[in-house]
Amino acid sequence: MSFSDYRTALVTGASTGIGAVVVERLARQGLEVHAVARDGDRLADLAARTGCVPHAVDITDTAALTEAVGGLDVDVLVNNAGVSRTGNILTADEWAVDEQVAVNIQAVLHLVRLLMPGMVKRDLGHIVNISSIAGVYNFGGNTVYHATKAAVHTLSRQLRVDGFGRRVRVTEICPGRVETEIFGRLLGDMEEAQRRFFDGYESLKPEDIADAIEFAVGTPPHVNIGHIEILPTLQVPGGLAFERRAG
């Protein structure tokens, strides 16, 4: 599907990182881009740079989200917004569970519920879900994040079933470590996150993820790129641990 077949796009988590770069790319391709995020000031700056339509909305507020975007005809939906919290299920508190479920999967489900029927009716559309290697590989920590991203992974496959027979494409982008603010929010300290997660590492950049999205959306209409796993060359996922006990 060439970009000329699409007129509108909607990107969540659009005020910074991957989302902001994707907004810039889609706008450059000539689409009317609706940018959704909580930070109104950053959205205003993005709108000034790209001409996007800003929506300062908390995507966990389903009523507000529905009011803001429920009536739109969106051809390309990029579910990018995501949050993570430290710790496994043994240390997680109620807020860590509820927030990650609300942002990482509940909002995605509602946006698809609101916008995919229009794609099916028009026989045209593309849904891009940003998941994570945490959704397909098991490694220590961030258990709730793993669970929510695994849900996005399964949902992405299921949407192809739900839209069967219509020209609605679904792509899951499954990144490894990307240099974004999510790690700073995870620790509550952007400088510490820079030292711990990025200094000395060849991490992915938001532009690398935008490249993949631009490729998937720009493929011919008979092609559906279902799953793209993107990692830094020097990062490998997964691992095996086996505790040895004597006696």
Catalytic residues: 145
Round to whole Å and give the CA distance between 187 and 39: 19
- Give the 3-state DSSP-derived string for 62-126, with helices as H, strands as E and coil as C: HHHHHHHHCCCCCCEEEECCCCCCCCCCCCCCHHHHHHHHHHHHHHHHHHHHHHHHHHHHHCCEE
CA-angle at 38, arms to 104 and 232, nearest 5°: 50
Round to whole Å and give the CA distance between 7 and 17: 23
> What type of residue is 45?
D
Q: Are 79 and 12 in contact (CB under 8 A)?
A: yes
HSE value, Cβ hemisphere, 13 Å, CA-based, for 179: 15
Q: Residue 175: beta bridge partners?
A: 230
| Number of CB atoms found within 10 A of residue 87's CB | 14
Nearest residue to 135 via CA among 153, 159, 158: 153
Q: Are 135 and 150 in contact (CB under 8 A)?
A: yes
Nearest residue to 127 via CA among 64, 65, 177, 173: 173
